[in-house]
Amino acid sequence: MIGDKALSRLGFGVTGPHAGWGLPRRETHTLIRRAVGLGMTFFDTGPAYGNGEAERRLGEALRGFPRDRVFVATKAGIHAGRRRDFSPGAIEMSFKASLDRLKCNRIDLLLLHGPAREEMDDRLIRRLEAFKARGLLRHIGVCGRGPELDHAISLGVFDAIMAPVNSGLDNTALARLRRARESGHTVIGIEVMAGAPRRLDWPRSRSDLWYAVRSVKQRLTRTVPGDGARAAPEALKWALENAPADALVCLTTRHTNLAANARLAALERAGTAS
């Protein structure tokens, strides 16, 4: 279990439009800094998002903030071009590159990004534990969505489990999350607002266009996550009140949505931030 006060109940996902053409870099910086002001001090990103661009933006935005005031999570195992490599050497190279892009001397949480059961072997675990012993890494975890998480939970070496958390989950997925918490893992929910309906207005910004393109792709490939029955605020409210999760990660490109999400999560300073 991660007992860090900087791991806010609601986190900011630096991915998607924040990893490329969907949003200007300066706007990502502004949103991240505003999030900290609202009490949203947990940030999740990964090297596969925009070939490292998301990590670079997060590192630039957090420059100057006291390191103990924010909690940064990134990932390893899925590389540029969606190439998979969970060998200890590849994970170490990825981890060191993330440290450089994030402009920090330690990472709070490193998540293996969708490993198969057999890829979570003893050699890799020992390499991750060595990072912790050297003070480069504080916690380790696994990000996934299926039975591979059962194996990760059973190993008893990970501090956190990251998985989809929304009202569209079946009983098997919900039971898995409860089992993770009962065994002492911090559970972090993603895809909280997945499938929530969006207004079909003509795109007025690059981020609107990014969301429109993603929606079309999901429908063409029939990969729309979640149940799609709840609007975004209701989906977040459901997860905050009902989901077996210690923290939730949300993605937004709008200041109004950022502030509204912070209020729903009742974050510290949410009502007083400018």
Would 186 be classed as within a structural domain?
yes
Q: Is a pLDDT exceeding 80 seen at residue 131?
A: yes
- Predicted confidence band of residue 82 (pLDDT cuts 50, 70, 90): confident
Would 258 be classed as within a structural domain?
no
Q: Which of the residues 42, 43, 49, 210 is marked catalytic?
A: 49
- Residue 267 confidence (pLDDT): 81
Q: Is a pLDDT exceeding 50 seen at residue 218?
A: no
* Structural domain boundaries, residue 76: 10-32+40-253
Would 247 be classed as within a structural domain?
yes
Would 132 be classed as within a structural domain?
yes
What is the average per-residue pLDDT within 91-96? 96
- Residue 79 confidence (pLDDT): 80
- The whole-angstrom distance between residue 27's C-alpha and the CA centroid of its chain comes to 19
Least confident of 25-39, 44-58, 115-129, 231-245: 231-245
Q: Is a pLDDT exceeding 70 seen at residue 224?
A: no
- Residue 80 confidence (pLDDT): 73
What is the average per-residue pLDDT within 18-24? 92
What is the average per-residue pLDDT within 54-58? 97
Would 5 be classed as within a structural domain?
no
Q: Which position has the token pair 């590192």?
A: 59
Bigger pLDDT: 167 vs 162: 162
pLDDT tens-digit map of 173-208: 999 999 999 999 999 999 998 755 555 554 566 655
What DSSP string runs through the chain?
----TTS-SEEEE--GGGGSTTS-HHHHHHHHHHHHHTT--EEE--TTTTTTHHHHHHHHHTTTS-GGG-EEEEEESEEGGGEE--SHHHHHHHHHHHHHHHT-S-EEEEEEES--GGGS-HHHHHHHHHHHHTTSEEEEEEE-SSTHHHHHHHH---SEEEEE-STT--HHHHHHHHHHHHTTPEEEEE-TTTT-----PPP-SHHHHHHHHHHHHHHHHT---S-S-S-HHHHHHHHHHHSS-SEEEE--S-HHHHHHHHHHTT-TTTTT--
Q: How many domains does the chain have?
A: 1
- Residue 136 confidence (pLDDT): 97
Would 191 be classed as within a structural domain?
yes
- Residue 274 confidence (pLDDT): 38
Q: Tokens standing for 154?
A: 């059973």
Known catalytic membership, residue 211? no
What share of the chain has pLDDT > 70, as a percent?
A: 84
- Predicted confidence band of residue 71 (pLDDT cuts 50, 70, 90): very high
What is the average per-residue pLDDT within 214-227? 52
CATH (domain of 62)? 3.20.20.100
Task: Compute the distance between CA of residue 243 and CA of residue 265 in angstroms, rounded to an integer.
Answer: 13
What is the average per-residue pLDDT within 25-34? 97
pLDDT tens-digit map of 225-260: 555 556 888 999 999 999 999 999 999 999 999 999
What is the average per-residue pLDDT within 19-38? 95
- Residue 99 confidence (pLDDT): 97
Helical pair 171-182 and 148-155, crossing angle rounded to 10 deg: 10
Query: Which pTM was predicted?
Result: 0.88
Bigger pLDDT: 192 vs 222: 192
Bigger pLDDT: 222 vs 181: 181
Would 220 be classed as within a structural domain?
yes
Would 178 be classed as within a structural domain?
yes
